[in-house]
Every structure is written in structure tokens, then in C-alpha cells.
Amino acid sequence: MSETPQTPQPQQTPQSATATADADEPSATTPEMEEAARAGRALPLVMSAPRGRKKPPPHLADLDPAGRKALLEDNGLPGFRAKQLSTHYFARLVDAPEQMTDLPAAQRGELVSTLLPELMTPVRTSEADRGTTRKTLWRLFDGALVESVLMRYTDRTTMCVSSQAGCGMACPFCATGQGGLQRNMSTAEIVEQVMAGARSLARGEVPGGPGRVNNVVFMGMGEPLANYKAVVGAVRRLTDPAPDGLGMSARGVTVSTVGLVPRIRQLTEEGVPLTLALSLHAPDDELRNELVPINTRFSVAETVDAAWQYARTTKRRVSIEYAMMRGINDQGWRADLLADVLYATGADWGWVHVNLIPLNPTPGSKWTASDPADEQEFVRRLEARGIPTTVRDTRGREIDGACGQLAASELA
């Protein structure tokens, strides 16, 4: 897991709509899909979450202040206590009821269980980089498994969070994609991953002393834009001023996508200054159709144009994510073609940055990391065309760092 440079709403989405996972649409992971994954056959794209799964309980982070007050009152509790609970959760980073001493003892348990129900429990946490990289496997209320990663650097801390349990995008080199989609996560389940990291930092549990979360990247399990309402809701909770939210800068948030073009266009109109990261991985349709199956619906040209329109409208530079795979997409001529594709927008300013990712292979996979010399030549060719390019500082190889590896090992 690792960090990259860093989503979006023209009108305020009703808070009740962002509160829970979009779990009421057809299409789901099936036994046939699981068998296909085991046999190494291509999985189908799954664009919608399975129907009929139970939703997580409503949580403070799912709701705006009015919604929190209403939920308490609907349960026969004083609505004004909602702001106190919000202050404990978002500002004081407190999750233990006994520390919420401004709440009456006789009502404290009921207040907390109504607005702060437990959403996830840690299964295990793995550490690397002397404890400054911490990957946590979480079990959600219904048994689904997701992962988050905290990465502390000398000058910042980044949280990488999941937005779905599993993923329906079926990318063959991705551990999560090969497991299929179980369900969307709720806004609060997404936010709680960040809050758990924020509490650990505030308590001094991560080497380096007390600290705070500076950046959040939606690059864990799942395709964020396939769970659009919940992800946008989470972004709003994270960036709302405390105590309504965590009070982060929107510029510290990155949302990644494999290229759901209609959702990128919707994101463009949201008016939130986030960073969009496009997981491109190939500059030509023939190869990208294989590596990123959504490309069979939205071509490279169409996807890159949507990313360019996002940059042009928001004035936020887009990050092009490109996992380097030995002998697959790391040829020098593909670097030249990538430059051609990015310049085809006709942009007259540096709207894009290429972030090369040394592939973190999954066990038994045919996909392996590029030779360092080929990686360096790829960088040289892009930079020679005037395209800013970096190689991601990948962390977590020794702790099943690729998204989905911890969950896969737990289920094995």
C-alpha cells in the first residue's frame, strides 16, 4: 500500500441518501464467478451491489447535524445531545462512553448506541516500516472483510481506505478484483476507517508521537465511483468543519477510479476541490481491455477526456496511476504512446501527473513487477515529453500490502 497525490456534488445530496450503502440494485458475486476466479478465467464486470443484503445501522457519520438530532428524537432521546456526541467523535476523537462525561450517566449508553453503534471490529493489524505503516483487516457487522492502511511519513500521515467489500471491476492483476463484489460500504463505514486511524495517532499509538491524519486516499478495496453516494457522503463528513465533520482540507483527499466515465463527469460538477486519480495502466485499448475490463465500455480516449474535463473545470491536476508490469505494459513505446494520449486533449497547461506504481504481486499471479531499468526508461521517456512523472514509494510488501491480500489470506 502506498500514497499518491489526490471528489465531488452540484447540489447537496439528501443526507439520508448518503447514509447507507447502495445495496438495493441487481447483480452480485455468484458461485460461478468465484469458480472463474479460482480457475483463472476472466471475471465479468459487476457494476451494481447485490440486492437484499442487510444494511449497517445508522451512525452519526451517515448524517448531517439535522439528521443526527432527528435520529435521537425519533428514539425518544433529547436532540441537543447530538452535537455533544459529534464533538466527542470528530473533535475529541473519543469512542469510549465512559470518557463522555458531559452526557448524563443514566442516558449515556442509549445515546451512544443510537448515534455511535459499533460498525466494524479489527481482525488483525500488521505493521511494517518500524510501525509507521499499519494495515488493518476489519470485519463489518455482517461478516464482510475490508482493509485500511495508515502510512506515517516524517511530514504527514495518509490513510488509505476501502469503499466496497470486494470489487466488481474484475482487473486480473488485483487481489480484490479477483474476489468479486460482496457489497458497498456505508458512508459511516468508510469514515470510521479514517477515524480509527485518527484516534490511534492522537493517542500516540503510532511511532512518532501524537499526530493527525493529513491525507485520505480512496485506493483501498473497491471502486469508489461505483459506490458514488456513500463515497461523496464520506468526503463531506471528512471535510465538514468540526464538530459536524473531521475538518480536513478537501485538497488532502484523493479519489481513485478505473474510469467510470459518467461518474467522473458527475464528480466534475460536485464543486469539491479534490484530486482525481485515474487508474489507467495502459495507453492502448487492446491492452487496457484486458487489464482494466471497464475499458470495453469506455475507451482510453473517452476516459482520458473525462479526466481532462475534470482538471479543466476544477483546476485540480489529475494523477494517472500506472502499475508497471514486467513485459506487459512497461515497454518504452508504450511510454511514448501514453504521452501522445495525454497530449491529445490539447491542454496548454500541466493538467496531469503520471504516478508509476511498482506492482505488488499477489500470490500465484503471473503479473510481476517491472525490471528497474525498464521502469527508469519509462520515466525518462515521459519526462522527455514534459510530463511530470514519479515512481510511487510503495509500502507494505511484507504485510500483504496489495489491496485485498489480507482479506484473501483470512478467507483461505
Cell of 350: 500541466
Strands 181-184 and 164-166: antiparallel
Reported in sequence order, the residue ranges of 232-331 that DSSP labels E, i.e. its strands, are 253-257, 275-279, 318-324
> Could you list the active site residues?
147, 403
Q: How many CB atoms lie within 10 A of CB 143?
A: 8
Strands 157-160 and 352-358: unpaired
CA atoms within 13 A on the CB side of 18: 28
Cell of 21: 450503502
Contact (Cβ atoms closer than 8 angstroms) between residue 196 and residue 151: no
Sorted by sequence, the CB contacts under 8 Å of residue 32 that are 6+ apart come out as none
Closest CA to 135 of 120, 119, 152: 152
Residue for grid cell 484516534: 199
The single-letter code of the amino acid at 151 is M
- What element of type H or E holds 36? helix 31-39
Contact (Cβ atoms closer than 8 angstroms) between residue 323 and residue 368: no
Euclidean distance between CA atoms 127 and 379, whole angstroms: 30
Cis peptide before 293 (omega within 30 of 0): no
Question: Which string of DSSP letters, residue by residue, matches 379-404?
Answer: HHHHHHTT--EEE--B--GGGT-STT
The single-letter code of the amino acid at 384 is A
